[in-house]
Amino acid sequence: MIPPIASNFVAGETPEAALAHVEGLNDRGVAGILNLLGEHYEERPPADADADAYVDLVEAIAERGVDACVSVKSSQIGLDVGDDVFEENLARIVEAANAPAATGSDGTGTFVWIDMEDHETTDVTLDAFERHAVETDGNVGVCVQANLKRTREDLERLADLPGKVRLVKGAYDEPAEISYKKKARVDESYRNCLAYMFEAFDDGVAVGSHDPAMIEYATELYAEHGTPYEVQMLTGVRESAQFELAAEDDVTVYQYIPYGSKWFSYFYRRIRERKSNALFALRAVVGS
């Protein structure tokens, strides 16, 4: 059972709990991105099992009629076992997401995001996205990280492809020779990448950020270019801002929703990476 403190950041241990969480968000105008927690499997059985779980999940999303999509990590579905295992499992998930059983009332399949992990996974992840973006006519998305020096060039490769691209600042501790280390430089890269995306992308831009300055900048870029965009934030982080944004006419808001039995390591990471999260957890302990 997930304790109350952690449940602010994790939707539950089961897909049923996660889908119920999405229904509550939908009532307030926010869509969901469901992520089954798990990563870095070094043997095939758990990778196959999580891929099976995603196949079931995309069907359940359509069955429940909720406004939601899914997001998978490459190391979760077999990349650490082998590129072929990752590619096979991703293909199974994407195929299931575009099958009749996962097709919603609007006639489209369940959207599949491919999360980005550390820099060693970048090339294989982008290759997989390109292949499936073309095959599904854009019913997949991929995440890129502004702290990597290569990302601006990667965006040029992705600009003409169907599908969506999520821009985040990047949470991995990458080598200095390939990444920006200072916050101000990462912020500068994020702004530059975002500006390029609004200029060059046709199928939509996903702003993965809790930074009010970056969200405001996206609003300005939208006013200038008219490129469709969405804002994506995590469960339990600035949720009031998520609902406020969702109330605006021109902004689509998604909440990234982790769930599953492997909640403890995710919760611990959330607490470590942000002082505000740690203070939130401390207040919850004191007040309980």
- Give CA–CA dist 268/271, Å, rounded: 5
Q: What is the DSSP annotation of 132-185?
A: HHHHTTS-EEEEEETTBTTHHHHHHHHTTSSSEEEEE---S---TTTB--SHHH
Catalytic: which of 166, 187, 203, 270? 166
Quote the crossing angle between the two packed helices 15-26 and 44-64, to the nearest 10°.
40
- Give CA–CA dist 138/90, Å, rounded: 15
Annotated catalytic residue 150: no
DSSP assignment letter at 89: H
Annotated catalytic residue 115: yes
- Give CA–CA dist 174/126, Å, rounded: 18
Catalytic: which of 50, 80, 115, 154? 115
Residues in the chain, overall count: 288
Residues in CB range of 239: below 8 A, 6 or more apart: 233, 255
Which positions are catalytic? 115, 166
